[in-house]
Structure 1
């Protein structure tokens, strides 16, 4: 069935013999060609840390607006706080419409190259709330795990393609990435929904892959493929959703899809439902030239190379506002 979404167990992958690995790789390849996501277990992220990240993030959103504004983003590719209605991710596909119904807090990497102009462009500083020191401590610990997991998944994806395990990770030693804490307020809190408005509008992510720790809800995640249209992917507690982004779609020359997905609006069926999602968007080194892989590894779509960081900045600028 096209809705079958495999679960990759990283612990199993590390220990299994080649024949079993080949079966896992075939299942991953099939779903990435069709839809662009799978679930991930055995990732080694402590549940206590995930819970703490969600709680400290939610505590930040509960601060008065005047406090949060001190940490607001001031350009499209930036870290810090974005208020309700500051994002319209559908705009990058020419589908600009209603602002997305969520607030976000963005965290990024601390590594630097020493080139001040380059670093300011690609590695914006973090804006840690003085009122909440636990958020900084928790986020640094959590994103350390997420970076580790992203590298492990990239090594698996390289193996699925029959490439050296370090094909992607060797180009991701000072990668750009963004960790989001997304707060989806309840219907009662936002007071109503405009026609067509969602918590996050239909879009694809811009990087190589994203790691999502989601909460299940009525107004939750939906994904798309040609066979099924929009549907809810399976939810398994303790797993992460891994979805591919535009850079990986290009890198594989169309062999693998960039997942099209959305988060539904808060529903009249659950007017008090609020959710907090933890989303880690991993890209690659910003000066990497992403050259589509030749067939038969690549999909033969004839896509054109891009410079990774330039591609990301262009798309972020089209999809986010400072409103």
Structure 2
């Protein structure tokens, strides 16, 4: 089990004294510099909410393709279904040790949800806060998703305050720039080997990538064909698994914001394995950003890492990377 991804109990953090907070921030800062992730316990999210949302997600993925395609994603911040695409991996980038390049799809499909409520500015709302398209075939999905994502938004605010403290910034530094944050709740299903009928050499459930926003909250399931993280010291490794913890990993926007002090977690999900041919996994992935119009100015030292990166408007940074996947997003309909 890797020590590069520590566990932080958010309840203990709230009640820790000066010395306790200093110890937590030191451990957390080291992990975010080297790998870009930590486990979070004490979050107060009932396990039954995760179980129910997984069940609703699985019910959606069991629907016929003709039904699911009615909810196909049509734009960058659209809600809806993204199927396993036939034209190649989803945003796959290769580094030494990633394995062979394959012209084959990532073996997962997803359903995306967003805030669904904007700021009353029609142009911005249409682009960044479109209404969610709830499948009429699954009337219970909305209630399950709303209950779960309310906790994710609450935790995101706590994580923003925690990260600010680690950097020695005012407690509201990130939260004040995320009053109307864009976020996406992804329900992602990784079918079994028996379900897909076989895999190409080197084919993955999710190819190597970093996430787009400030951070991601992941509720995952343990599996033979499961999550792997990467850092320079260890290469690819399996992060520690705790069913009562979320994995929190940094995204590209936070790496830029800290001017390279912290890194976005590079990660992948292994392909289905012949060792567990019936194994299927469902991940609940909450991608968090900032207000779309936030000017992200790389922090100066000592908070920032001194990489000398340029400022960017949050939505520009997100959409620029999404542009590389525009064909996938448009084709999903």
What are the ranges of 5 or more consecutive residues in structure 1 without an aligned counterpart? none
Relative to 1, partners in 2 of residues 1:24 and 1:43: Cα closer, same or farther, differing over 3 Å? Answer: same
Contact 2:221 2:281 in 1 (8 A): yes
Contact 2:2 2:239 in 1 (8 A): no
Q: Give the CA deviation at 1:47.
A: 0.7
Matched, 1:70 2:70: yes
Q: Which residue is equivalent to 2:8?
A: 8
SS of 2:107 mapped into structure 1: coil
Q: Which residue is equivalent to 1:56?
A: 56
TM-score normalized with structure 2 length: 0.93
Matched, 1:19 2:25: no
Contact 2:91 2:209 in 1 (8 A): yes
Contact 2:207 2:269 in 1 (8 A): yes
Contact 1:98 1:196 in 2 (8 A): no
What are the ranges of 5 or more consecutive residues in structure 2 without an aligned counterpart? 96-100
Contact 1:184 1:199 in 2 (8 A): yes
TM-score normalized with structure 1 length: 0.96
Contact 1:36 1:258 in 2 (8 A): yes
Mapping for residues 229-268 of structure 1, pairs under 5 Å? 229-268=235-274
Partner residue of 1:309 out of 289, 292, 315: 315
How many residues align? The count is 323
Mapping for residues 114-193 of structure 1, pairs under 5 Å? 114-193=120-199
Partner residue of 1:217 out of 203, 217, 223: 223
Of residues 66-75 and 254-263 in structure 1, the stretch that sits farther from structure 2 once superposed is 66-75
Question: After superposition, what is the alpha-carbon deviation per residue over 1:87-124, rounded to whole angstroms, capped at 9, x for unaligned?
Answer: 83334789894321101000000221222222111112
Matched, 1:39 2:34: no
Q: Which residue is equivalent to 2:91?
A: 90
Q: Give the CA deviation at 1:27.
A: 0.2
Q: Give the CA deviation at 1:268.
A: 1.0
SS of 2:324 mapped into structure 1: helix
Q: Give the CA deviation at 1:316.
A: 1.5
Whole-Å separation in 2 of the counterparts to 1:208 and 1:89: 20
Question: After superposition, what is the alpha-carbon deviation per residue over 1:132-161, rounded to whole angstroms, capped at 9, x for unaligned?
Answer: 111011101111100110110110000000
SS of 2:50 mapped into structure 1: helix
Relative to 1, partners in 2 of residues 1:73 and 1:90: Cα closer, same or farther, differing over 3 Å? Answer: closer
Partner residue of 1:274 out of 253, 256, 280: 280
Contact 2:2 2:237 in 1 (8 A): no
